[in-house]
Amino acid sequence: MGIGTMEGVFVVSLKKIRFSLPVVALMLTGNVLANKSEDLLAAMESGKCNPEAVMLHDLALTGDAVSQLAFANAADKDLCGVVEMWWEYSFDWYRKSAEQGNAAAQAALAKHLATHWNRENETEALVWYQRAADQGNADAKFGLAQMYGRGKTKSDNLRKDDKLAIKLYKEAAAAGHEMSWFILSHIYETGSNGEKKDEVVAAYWYRKSADKGSPSAQWRLASMYEEGRGVDQDYAEARRWYEKAAAQNHSYSQTNLAKMYRSGRGGLRDEKLTLQLFHQAAEAGDSNAQFELAMIYAKGLIGMARNEEKSLYWLNESASSWNPLAIKELERQR
């Protein structure tokens, strides 16, 4: 029997395989229970819903904190329609697990509360983030750093504290928190959050994030190699990192890589790839790539025939994003 909605086949089929709580509790205990719930969540993430959804719900109902967290994650992602089946939201399940001391659930609950933007929720978010951070949870330290970095929005208990925010970012980064690596990179590249600009340190953190596959970090690291900021100038290395980010459809990297292929910086020239990358970035909305295409079609560059219609199209697309070069060119043509 297939899986349907609340009104259809799904509920009927689930009732046929529903387990009673005592049976589940006897079947699985302790770490085995926790491991089973994580396996069920992984199965649901891969699209397997029957009987996984019911089994995970039953495990959560036993009161096991890890199972409650797993079911909260399923509800948060709306896997297998679990919210519609039982009408308990991820928020409720995160709280059940958090109240038992589960640090990951405490951090997730705090994140939900912090995004509600009212005084009561923001104040409570600080409490849950702190409880999780005290257990060493990196997500919680990152969340606290974000809150202290921006300072008071609603809660009177939230003060802006750049020094504490940096300390928390670094602690989270040391625990392998990838977003903390990227945030620290930006802080040291720009000299913000009370820190002095230090492009050597920025490049260090960008590399850690880039090595983990972040296209934004790969793009920033590539630009540092291209410009010789914080690292020795190295066009080949810049091209290598642009290529990694471009392969993940990062439009700014596609544009910069196209320029390197066009000029031959860092490697061989390749007009075919130049045009291909400019088109990919332009179609993704990058105004610089759109302007470059407009000029290519206007002047018949890199082996392309002149095409005024295509040139004007891309020029208008670029200008609509307030690209100053495109706006200036349109004014010149009037």
Same domain, 291 and 315: yes
Q: Which residue has the higher pLDDT, 119 or 19?
A: 119
Q: How far apart are the C-alpha atoms of 168 and 251, rounded to whole Å?
A: 32
- Residue 57 burial (CB < 10 Å; 0-12/13-18/19+)? buried
Same domain, 41 and 67: yes
Question: How does pLDDT run across 155-208, given as a tens digit for each residue?
Answer: 666 788 999 999 999 999 999 999 999 999 999 999 999 999 999 999 999 999
Q: Is residue 186 part of a domain?
A: no
User: What is the residue range of 305's domain?
Assistant: 285-334
- Identify whether 324 is preceded by a cis peptide bond (ω within 30 of 0): no
Q: What is the mean pLDDT of residues 90-115?
A: 94
Confidence of residue 83 (pLDDT cuts 50, 70, 90): confident
Average pLDDT of the chain, as a whole number: 89
Q: How far apart are the C-alpha atoms of 245 and 222, rounded to whole Å?
A: 9
Q: Is residue 275 part of a domain?
A: no
Q: How far apart are the C-alpha atoms of 3 and 82, rounded to whole Å?
A: 12
pLDDT at residue 153 greater than cutoff 90 = no
pLDDT at residue 12 greater than cutoff 60 = no
Question: How does pLDDT run across 59-69, given as a tens digit for each residue?
Answer: 999 999 999 99
**CA-to-CA dists, residue 38 to 73, 106, 125, angstroms:** 10, 18, 26
pLDDT at residue 8 greater than cutoff 50 = no
pLDDT at residue 262 greater than cutoff 90 = yes
pLDDT at residue 6 greater than cutoff 60 = no
| Domain edge (last residue) among 73, 97, 121 | 97
CB within 8 Å of 42: residues ≥ 6 apart: none
pLDDT at residue 15 greater than cutoff 80 = no
Same domain, 41 and 130: no
pLDDT at residue 13 greater than cutoff 50 = no
Answer for the pair 82, 75: CB distance below 8 angstroms, yes or no: yes
| Domain edge (last residue) among 97, 124, 142 | 97
Which range (32-46, 121-135, 258-272, 290-304) has the least confidence? 32-46
pLDDT given for residue 156 in this prediction: 66
Q: How far apart are the C-alpha atoms of 4 and 69, rounded to whole Å?
A: 25
| Domain edge (last residue) among 122, 155, 175 | 175
Same domain, 116 and 163: yes
Answer for the pair 73, 105: CB distance below 8 angstroms, yes or no: no
